[in-house]
Amino acid sequence: MTYSLVDYADVQGLVRFGYGRMTSASYALVRVKDVAAAKVWLRAAPVTNAVEKRPPPTAALQIAFTAPGLAKFGLPPSMMNGFSREFRNGMSEDYRRRLLGDVDRNAPERWDWGGPGRELHLLVMFFAEPEHFDSFVQSTKGNTWSEAFEEVIWLGTSNLDGDEPFGFADGISQPQIDWDEQRQTPCTQLEYTNIVAVGEFLLGYRNEYGKITDRPLLDPDATNAELLPAVDAPDKKDLGRNGTYLVMRQLEQDVREFWKFLYEHAGGNLAEAGQLGTKMVGRTQGGDPLLPIQDEPIPGTEPRTAKQNQFTYEADPAGVRCPFGAHVRRTNPRNSDFPEQRIGALRKLIIILGFGPKGFYNDLTSSVRFHRILRRGREYGSELSPEQALQSDLPNEPRGLHFICLNANIARQFEFLQNAWIANTKFAGLTGESDPLLGNRRAPGCPVTDNFTMPCEGALPRRVSGLRQFVTVKGGAYFFLPSLRALRYFAGA
């Protein structure tokens, strides 16, 4: 079977670019009022593709659909069933909210958007350099926008110069997509690499298992003539090819509570408060890793970012430098496949079944190459320095992260990260802990997870307790970010 290279002209640009130069961005979450008008608008919408342009564009438009949105545009159930179950069922269904930790203060009933009974259809993303933003939004909306859509919510973003609202550099580590399918999959990979199969981020290509993720395959007819054939079923039209799933969550950050907690636990010493925060994130505020950079390059780590990304946790097996529970060590433990030749199958089984010796070293953390995501979120709210956060007389205002990630398999990528590595009460030998930034601490029926353990060299680990809930989920939904061909198909062009 031959695989063609990716046609960037058919892929929405967000898969390839973060649009970092376009520091103004807004997200319109809309419901379709008039399908015919919505199709007219969609046909004219200047959606930006992933072709690299010189000079780069000053503005970009991206469009994604919820499952009810696709149904609204006329996709019959037979086609909808080709999409993944998690996309079709949505983020706020009962089983999923428990899986994601969306209970209590995070419960979908409390969300500002995306909760039960508040159906959304489209996510329209506007990016532009600041001086072009207003005119770009206006011209893109055009005359049909208000006839076609009802705006459920308009989410603005802010430019914090690469930091997230707690004050730590963000967007540093991203997987590198193997666009040309240079790496063989399936494979056994005993060393960590940052290169990940294109099929992990685009439907219609081989993923890390060497397989092609399920997506709707259509019988050819006059309406879908423009869609590409499926590589694994050439007599079918591939509605998913060059598209992907987009996860969006509005994560409100209580910046004052975060710094107040750190400051109290550091005995009123701001420098020490910063050090505790650094351990919780797993990088310094400036974004440096807590481990020395290794000499050997890591495949897929660009020389430009080597100072921040050329490391694994192999040099820190006890978590003394970067605690196991730190946000970045949880979300990317930088490990590779289980080294079967060093540990017998029987012993592996014993450990999997939980009868092995207890402790950090024997815990199995699944290989990361099956669980990478592309992060494309943006911050909102104004900057608040740690000093300002500690002043109680300043008015509070909403701040946080419009978390957005792209992945071809929501269950195995985003949901696995959120459930097994972030929200789980047991991770890497730790109990009574969840992600120190994101944990919601008290899920009904689960142990309290308000601890954070920092192993120490030759001494007992230091454990900080009483962590509060610093992040609250305010909205969320799963979307499909289609190829440009699929977009034209939805628009009936």
We find the least distance from the C-beta atom of residue 375 to ligand HEM, in angstroms, to be 6
Looking at beta carbons only, is 49 or 335 nearer to ligand HEM? 335
What does DSSP assign to residue 394?
S
CA pair distance 160, 23, nearest whole angstrom: 9
Question: Does position 332 bind ligand HEM by CB under 6 A?
Answer: yes
Question: Does position 328 bind ligand HEM by CB under 6 A?
Answer: yes
Taking contact as CB under 6 A, which single stretch among the options 70-78, 263-271, 326-334, 449-457 is the one that binds ligand HEM? 326-334
Determine the size of the site formed for ligand HEM (CB under 6 A): 28
Pattern 426-455, ligand HEM, x by CB under 6 A: -----------xx-----------------
Burial 159-176, CB ≥16 within 10 A → b, else e: ebeebbbbbbbbbbbbbe
Looking at beta carbons only, is 217 or 422 nearer to ligand HEM? 422
Question: Does position 291 bind ligand HEM by CB under 6 A?
Answer: no
- Contact at 8 Å (CB) between 239 and 489? yes
- Contact at 8 Å (CB) between 221 and 200? no
Apex 201 CA angle, 296 and 35, nearest 5:
160
We find the least distance from the C-beta atom of residue 304 to ligand HEM, in angstroms, to be 15
CA pair distance 178, 300, nearest whole angstrom: 9
Looking at beta carbons only, is 216 or 287 nearer to ligand HEM? 287
CA distances from 230 to 220, 290, 350 (A): 11, 45, 42
Looking at beta carbons only, is 246 or 328 nearer to ligand HEM? 328
Residue 377's closest CA among 487, 272, 246?
A: 246
155 phi, psi to nearest 5 deg? -105, 115
Question: Contact with ligand HEM (CB under 6 A): which of 215, 283, 369, 485?
Answer: 283
Question: Does position 310 bind ligand HEM by CB under 6 A?
Answer: no
Taking contact as CB under 6 A, which single stretch among the options 122-130, 165-173, 199-207, 481-489 is the one that binds ligand HEM? 165-173
We find the least distance from the C-beta atom of residue 474 to ligand HEM, in angstroms, to be 11
Cβ-Cβ contacts under 8 Å for 324 (sequence gap 6 or more): 330, 360, 427, 428, 429, 430, 453, 455
Cβ-Cβ contacts under 8 Å for 89 (sequence gap 6 or more): 67, 96
Residue 99's closest CA among 112, 110, 90?
A: 90
Question: Does position 306 bind ligand HEM by CB under 6 A?
Answer: no
Question: Does position 87 bind ligand HEM by CB under 6 A?
Answer: no
Question: Does position 170 bind ligand HEM by CB under 6 A?
Answer: yes
Question: Contact with ligand HEM (CB under 6 A): which of 6, 50, 75, 417?
Answer: 417
- The token pair at 216 is 């709707």
Question: Does position 403 bind ligand HEM by CB under 6 A?
Answer: yes
Binding site for ligand HEM (CB under 6 A): 164, 166, 168-173, 251, 253, 281, 283, 287, 327-328, 331-332, 373, 400-401, 403, 414, 417-418, 422, 437-438, 471
